[in-house]
Chains A and B, each alone.
Chain A
Amino acid sequence: MTGGVNDVYLVGCSRTAFGRFDGEDQDLAEQAVRGALADCGLSWGDVEFAAGGTNGETKPDNLVARMGLTGIPFVTVKNGCATGAVALGTARNGLIAEQREIACVVGYDNHARGAFSASPARYGIGDWYGATGMMVTTSYFALKIQRYLHEHDIDPRILGHVSAKAFDYAASHPLAWRRTPVTVDEVLDSDMVNDPLTRLMFCSPDAGGVALILARGPRAFDLCDKPIRLAAVELRGRRPGSFEVFSPWLSPGVRTSPSVDAAAAAFRAAGVRPQDVQIAQVQDTESGAEIMHLGETGLCAPGDQGAGYLTGDYLAGGRLPVNTDGGCIANGEPVGASGLRQVHEVMTQLQGRALGQQVPGHLRIGFTHVYGAPGISACTVLVAEGASS
Chain B
Amino acid sequence: MGLSVVDPSLFSSLDPVVLQGSACAACAAHVFPAQGTCPMCAGIEVAPVPLPTAGVVWSWTTQRLAPKPPFRTDEFAPFSVGYIDLGPVIVEGWLLGKTDWMIGESVRLALAKAWTDDGETVFTYGFEVAE
Contact = CB atoms under 8 A, between A and B. Distances in A.
A194 B64 contact: yes
Contacts, number: 114
Given A128-B124, A249-B90, A250-B90, A144 B70 contact: no
A128 B21 contact: no
A133 B73 contact: yes
B92 A248 contact: yes
A260 interface: no
A185 interface: no
* Size category, B interface: 35 or more
B7 interface: yes
B81 A131 contact: no
Interface in A38-82: none
Contacts of B39: 240
B26 interface: no
A354 interface: no
Nearest to B102: A150
Interface string B28-66: 011111000001110000000000000000111111110
A133 B81 contact: yes
A194 B114 contact: no
Contacts of B81: 133-134, 139, 143
Given A143-B83, A147-B59, 7 more contacts: A126-B10, A128-B6, A130-B70, A132-B124, A134-B92, A240-B39, A249-B30
Interface of B: 6-7, 9-10, 21, 29-33, 39-41, 58-65, 67-73, 79, 81-83, 85, 87-94, 100, 103, 114-115, 124
Interface of A: 117, 119-120, 126-128, 130-136, 139, 142-144, 146-147, 150, 191-197, 240, 247-252
21 contacts: A117-B68, A117-B69, A128-B6, A131-B70, A131-B72, A132-B6, A134-B93, A146-B59, A150-B103, A194-B63, A195-B64, A195-B100, A196-B61, A240-B39, A240-B40, A240-B41, A248-B32, A249-B30, A249-B32, A250-B92, A251-B40
